[in-house]
Structure 1
Amino acid sequence: MKLTKLRLRNFRNYSGTIEIDIIDLNVLIGKNDIGKSSVLEALDIFFNGKPDKNDLCITGDSNTIEITCIFDDFPEQLILDDTVETSLDDEYLLNSDRKLEIRKKFTIGATVSEETVIICLYPDHPELVNLLSKKRTSLQLQYEQLGINHNGVNRTISKELRNAIRNHFYADGNITTSPTEIKIDGRLDNEDNRKKIWTNLKNYLPLYSLFFVDKPLNDQDSDIQDPMKEIVKEVLRRDDITPLLVQLKEQIQAASTNLADQTITKLNELDASFAETLRSTFPKEPSWDTIFKLTLEDDRGVPLNKRGSGLRRLVLLSFFRAQVENRRTSNAPNIIYALEEPETSQHPNFQLMIVKALTELSETDNAQVLFTTHNSNLAKEIPKNSLRFIYSDNGIVRVHNGLNPDGTDNTLIIDQIISTLGALPDPKNKVKVLIFVEGENDINGLIGLSKIMNAHNNNILSLENNEQVAFIPTGGSQLKFYIEKKYLDGLPQAQVHLYDSDISAYVASVADLNAENNPKKFGFNTTKIELENYLHHEAINECYQDLLININLTEILDSEDVPEKVAIAVHAVTSGTPWNAINPDPLKTEEKQRRKISNAKRQLNTKAVEKMTIDRIIQRGGYDEIKSWLDKINEMILE
């Protein structure tokens, strides 16, 4: 079964209904904070979880989030509520396009309630509304009450009973249908047959594996845990493993039910009236993937989540390369792989290997791939029909494909993608200067400050949508590869490197680069600790006031860790726990601290930068220095 379309409504910044076509390989491109990651996380909620209250769009028209997935390539025959195969077509569970359309509705209130429905063309006779909710005994009772002719009907098979009942109400054989929502989960009685249908139907849906590459380092680092976890989940879904698990489950349930019934029998001797109200049941299916744990460690017993980020990312890359081979076997289950910016912290050669592996993975049977990227050099390696450009049109988020419906290039959208990413080599490469920074947050901050200074003095270069520059995030730990190994020196573009001064290795690397006396390469270290130190405290306060958080900073010093300072201030007014004791587990406290600091860094380089003015830049003593960076970039553009 494969996903063909995703619809979102009232989810985060998707206020109206947005529709995204899904094929085997899908690359989501767009500006920061436009909603690329939200698409991946919406799918994760659909397949694996539940939203929280903050996922509701604040400008939406209701308090209900809707996530709809449409599937095709489903089995012609499947098991729904019996041991006898039926089909989605025979049960009238397909939509007008003859596809399986499942919508999850999450109502946000004091708690989050969930309801799952199938949208289909269903028989419109009022006596058939609850047909799927009836188990076999109820179907047999209705069948007898209707006095249906027994000829050719096996009354021990639910499928045949339902078919006979439908035909009874459409004696001429012309079953008319209308668009209907069939509820299959959400506050259904345990005796409702639709719960069993949904339980079995979920076994045919694809697995969904979401990987966030840029995660903090801790004992539960998903960069390592997720690939190992997904290996277990996928093996458990293999055709040669699933029957063994079903057999084991049935034996355990039979033995357990027998013991439970014996207990009720003994209770009957003590309190018959109470015993009569009891019955044994298994309210939930067993979660096999929580039983089997798989980890990686080296020959010294050191887990890989305690090793360097580069090695951990290589494990993730190797996982996908291995999957290309593994999924060529005949029993590979349906799976969707989703990644956020998989090129993060990777050498350019490895970045291309990742794209190649993901492309090959998407070409294997029963596999689909979605990933986000800001890297134009990766985007140019992707087939145009895989590009999904997400952008804002007067406040309304829209998604366009790289190809038009007739298969021709969507040149308008491709031009917008080029503009958003800064450059796209061949055929439209206009890049004169490569700007190397540590990460995405620095890109956002630098673009925002240049925009303000250009508005004040149009002789100062603006980096916003500038086709003559392209950003290269070095990912911190990968900095030495770009400077020492000179990986990109073969390109015709000049290079400007801009790094913080809080790490001595960065300062040394810039000094080594400038010592080359290469006119096409120049490096800067910030005179303040980090780029965030150039922000004004009033801009930061106003940024968080927009988020209804009053932190009231009074100053920003050149030598302090601004993201940490802001994170602590935000935590102080939004949480009742001390900063150093967020969780009883010190490791979890450190993890949450890092996450809060990362969130603060993102807000500072997007929302707080927007609150800066030329006067505030001058007051922070950053005007001349920032101008020198931009002038150097402009100088290299003009050479």
Structure 2
Amino acid sequence: MKLKALKLRNFRSYNKESEINIQDLNVLIGKNDVGKSSILEALDIFFNGKPDKNDLCIANDNCRIDITCIFDELPETIILDDSTPTSLKDEFLLNSNKDLEIRKSYSVSDKGAVSEEAVIVCEYPDNENLSDLLSMKRTPLKTMLNSLNVDTKGVNKTKNKEIRAAIRNHYYTNNISTKTTEIKIDGRLDNEDNRKKIWTSLKKYLPIYSLFFVDKPLNDQDSDIQDPMKEIIKEVLSTNEILPLLDQLKDAVQNASTTLADNTIKKLNELDPTLAETLQSNFPKEPTWNSIFKLTLEDERGIPLNKRGSGLRRLVLLSFFRAQVESRKTANAPNVIYALEEPETSQHPDFQLMIVNALKELSDTNNAQVLFTTHNSNLAKEIPKEALRYIYSEGNTIKVENGLNDDGTDNVEIIDKIIETLGALPDPKNKVKVLIFVEGENDINGLKNFSEIMALNDSSTMKLTNNEAIAFIPTGGSQLKYYIEKKYLDGLTQAQFHIYDSDVPGYVKSVEQLNNEGVETKKGFNTTKRELENYLHHEAIIEQYSSLGINISIDEITDEEDVPEKVAIAINQAMGKSEWEAFDPEKQKKKISKVKRQLNEGAVKRMTIERMIERNSFEEIKMWLNTIKALV
């Protein structure tokens, strides 16, 4: 389950509802005090806490704060109110976009007291007879089913899911008509209300949210060195290996305690039967396991790290994220959202870049999402444009815009505002002699890595990594720094080398027109294979995913097939997910995009000269590199 969007209303500066699109990597940029930190803290309230009276927007139109989280990539089956798997779809708990939408509302009284309730916004059956269906436990469900005098043959009355389905089918013989409905799941619900149990179960599927304030005041219990240790405990307690053990312990404690409590009531009954009738044992809250376990780091003298220098503490935080990249290379890692406030604070420039690269890698691992704020132009340059979120005030409304438009094109107006806000200037390019035009960032990584392999075989081969004589210009979406450089270099006269895939007719035509100009300092090529990923050997791909704990099975690569899609389908099969065709095109596109990055950043490094020769890619790539060298 992943966070898809956040909606804020009446929270601090967000007086009118603002929606923030959330992807795997999200970088929040804007002027001071515009509302960047409020996004991170609103999420912390939703997942971990409660607001106080001062969080209510002073320009509010009522006394209620609304924080809404929308989730996609939902589990196919889910345990809600008994041990029988069901699904959010079958229980009509999805919104019109087939996502899970949960809104938490916090009412603030005149005296400053804050009360909370939570609802699921969903497309629910439009029939008043079904309005209380989810609030019923098994006994009232069976009573309602029996009162309808329907044929219950084949209905297992020990499973709430089947009873609810039978009741719905009684009122709808064909398609079930629905309407947008709010199903209350928390806040002043009776203990006998089944929705309390549904909410308790549902919370187990929500992501863990971990917020780090890198530059906050330090004390023994609350510091930026203590936080990573707390998050380690939270994540370990959420693993598939530990969760069943905790449930066993919880059941054992509750059963033993209930027995003793019931015996107490039994003895009370002997003294006063009237009073005993009004009492029953109950566990109003789930145990908070992470408050029981403590983890700290100390040196050999027993001095905790929060008593050491701030630089060392922040290096530990950096190391935590780098370690997370390694530990999350498995399919069973719990869903986690990491949020940071200005991670570059008090860091050496080298470490600033390291932490941003670690966060980018972390966002690309299984079940992880990353949000952070920054004012640092050098860090922002390293961020893909689709991850950029620009926050600004327009009138009395806070707006959040994306770096890319919905159709994937550059949101030029917003990107230019980001550059202006950050003061991001292009790097000096006096040394650049050749501009290498490619389709996107994945092609850049692929070409750089292929050049490294070729140089190991022949020292005269031109390496494209850290080469000041060349500058890459992606024609498609990529990092902000390439956008800046392209604008800076558009009017210059460096030699040009263009290499594009052969699967797009427009690119084939562009290369043909370029070469027809007959200019010696402009060279254009289309790949003879479908795209750069087709130059890989299938064994290199298998090895790369094996290193991530995913054992895929693919046969030899051909020149014409869609390799990223082929690998994405193989990963899907290896991880036991839904059939590939069951995913909507947008979700397929996301999965393929991740594969392309993994292939060009990882699988290429596992190529060898022998594998390149076997794939008939050695001579062609050598020719590209020699052409670039000649232009330089």
User: What are the superposed Cα offsets for residues 357-388 of structure 1, whole Å, 9 maximum, x if unpaired?
Assistant: 00000000100000000000000000000000
Shift of 1:409: 1.4
User: What are the superposed Cα offsets for residues 114-135 of structure 1, whole Å, 9 maximum, x if unpaired?
Assistant: 1100000000111011100000
Matches within 5 A, 1:567-586: none
**8 Å contact 1:211–1:222 — kept in the other structure?**
no
Q: Which amino acid aligns with 2:293?
A: F
Q: 1:161 pairs with 138, 160, 163, which one?
A: 163
Matches within 5 A, 1:42-441: 42-109=42-109, 110=111, 111-170=113-172, 172-426=173-427
In structure 2, C-alpha distance between the alignment counterparts of 1:412 and 1:95, rounded to whole Å:
32
**8 Å contact 1:240–1:331 — kept in the other structure?**
no
**8 Å contact 2:29–2:388 — kept in the other structure?**
yes
Q: Which amino acid aligns with 1:130?
A: D
Q: How many residues align?
A: 428
Gaps in structure 2 of 5+ consecutive residues: 431-632
Shift of 1:427: 8.9
Shift of 1:262: 1.4
Aligned to 1:245, the other structure's residue is in SS state helix
Shift of 1:423: 2.1
In structure 2, C-alpha distance between the alignment counterparts of 1:13 and 1:428, rounded to whole Å:
41
Shift of 1:396: 2.1
Shift of 1:394: 2.7
User: What are the superposed Cα offsets for residues 41-71 of structure 1, whole Å, 9 maximum, x if unpaired?
Assistant: 0000111111111111111211111111100
In structure 1, C-alpha distance between the alignment counterparts of 2:84 and 2:426, rounded to whole Å:
56
User: What are the superposed Cα offsets for residues 242-268 of structure 1, whole Å, 9 maximum, x if unpaired?
Assistant: 001111111111111111111122222
Shift of 1:217: 2.4
User: What are the superposed Cα offsets for residues 303-339 of structure 1, whole Å, 9 maximum, x if unpaired?
Assistant: 0010000000011101101000111123210000000
**8 Å contact 2:76–2:87 — kept in the other structure?**
yes
User: What are the superposed Cα offsets for residues 522-564 of structure 1, whole Å, 9 maximum, x if unpaired?
Assistant: xxxxxxxxxxxxxxxxxxxxxxxxxxxxxxxxxxxxxxxxxxx
**8 Å contact 2:152–2:166 — kept in the other structure?**
no
Corresponding residue for residue 443 of structure 2? none
In structure 2, C-alpha distance between the alignment counterparts of 1:332 and 1:414, rounded to whole Å:
34
Aligned to 1:162, the other structure's residue is in SS state helix
Shift of 1:425: 3.0
Gap change, CA 1:96 and 1:344, over 3 Å in 2: same
Corresponding residue for residue 592 of structure 2? none
Gap change, CA 1:201 and 1:424, over 3 Å in 2: farther
In structure 1, C-alpha distance between the alignment counterparts of 2:429 and 2:373, rounded to whole Å:
22
In structure 1, C-alpha distance between the alignment counterparts of 2:81 and 2:193, rounded to whole Å:
11
TM-score, length of structure 1 as denominator length? 0.66
User: What are the superposed Cα offsets for residues 205-260 of structure 1, whole Å, 9 maximum, x if unpaired?
Assistant: 00000000001122123201111111000000000110011111111111111111
Q: Which amino acid aligns with 2:302?
A: G
Aligned to 1:294, the other structure's residue is in SS state coil
In structure 1, C-alpha distance between the alignment counterparts of 2:244 and 2:372, rounded to whole Å:
33
In structure 2, C-alpha distance between the alignment counterparts of 1:245 and 1:330, rounded to whole Å:
21
Corresponding residue for residue 33 of structure 1? 33
User: What are the superposed Cα offsets for residues 449-470 of structure 1, whole Å, 9 maximum, x if unpaired?
Assistant: xxxxxxxxxxxxxxxxxxxxxx
Aligned to 2:269, the other structure's residue is in SS state helix
Gaps in structure 1 of 5+ consecutive residues: 430-639
Shift of 1:424: 3.7
Aligned to 1:14, the other structure's residue is in SS state coil
In structure 1, C-alpha distance between the alignment counterparts of 2:188 and 2:334, rounded to whole Å:
30
Q: Which amino acid aligns with 1:67?
A: I
Shift of 1:428: 11
Corresponding residue for residue 622 of structure 1? none
Shift of 1:272: 2.0
In structure 2, C-alpha distance between the alignment counterparts of 1:26 and 1:426, rounded to whole Å:
24
In structure 1, C-alpha distance between the alignment counterparts of 2:195 and 2:348, rounded to whole Å:
50
TM-score, length of structure 2 as denominator length? 0.67
Aligned to 2:67, the other structure's residue is in SS state strand
Corresponding residue for residue 11 of structure 1? 11
Shift of 1:147: 1.0
Q: Which amino acid aligns with 1:372?
A: T
In structure 2, C-alpha distance between the alignment counterparts of 1:163 and 1:399, rounded to whole Å:
41
